[in-house]
Amino acid sequence: MKRRKIIDEFKTFIARGSVVDLACGVIMGSAFTAITNSMVKDIITPLAGFLMRGTDFSGFKIILRHASDTSAELAITYGNFINAVVNFFIVAIVAFFIVKAFNRINEKVRRDEIAKKKLEDEKKKKDTEEKEALYRQREIEKARLLEERNNVQVELLTEIRDLLRNGKKDA
């Protein structure tokens, strides 16, 4: 019984939208990382190396103890740290421009959707106004026909009355 309850709770947990959203976010994040890393490694870094004339900071270090037959060199390799910082900034700049491009695309899509909705709303409003105008025209036509019919009835009744009056006079 307790085991079944745990399984049901787990199913409920997994089925929540936030868990699925998180999983999609991780997948998209890893794909985005691959794109960003490729752009940095294959495009930006060679260009930066060309512009910096092949400068590599990895050899920069402060030697605390030189290597000997019995011990290895002990050094602070701050050049690797500088390379890591430079790579971080390159990745950050590339990521910034990629996100900026996506945001620009999303903004255009959002503006297009707003414009489309506005056009749809204007069309609905115009259709409603046209329907209302057509309804008013029909109502006016009905009133005119009713008035015309009433006038005909009044004329007929007047003729009948006049005929009846004339018939009384003749009798």
Give per-residue pLDDT as tens, 134-148: 999 999 999 999 999
Contact in structure between 66 and 73 (CB atoms under 8 Å): yes
DSSP H helices in 16-77: 17-39, 45-51
Domain residue spans in the chain? 1-55, 56-171
Pairwise pLDDT comparison (40 vs 160), residue with the higher score: 160
* pLDDT band, residue 49 (cuts 50/70/90): confident
Mean pLDDT over each residue of the chain, to the nearest integer: 85
pLDDT score of 171: 56
Which residue, among 120, 116, 139, 117, has the nearest Cα to 131 in the 3D structure?
A: 139
pLDDT score of 17: 67
Q: How far is CA 37 from the centre of its chain?
A: 26
Most confident range, picked from 10-14, 62-66, 88-92, 139-143 = 139-143
Q: Is the pTM of this model over 0.75?
A: no
Residue 65, beta-bridge partner list: 74
Q: Which amino acid does the sequence have at 9?
A: E
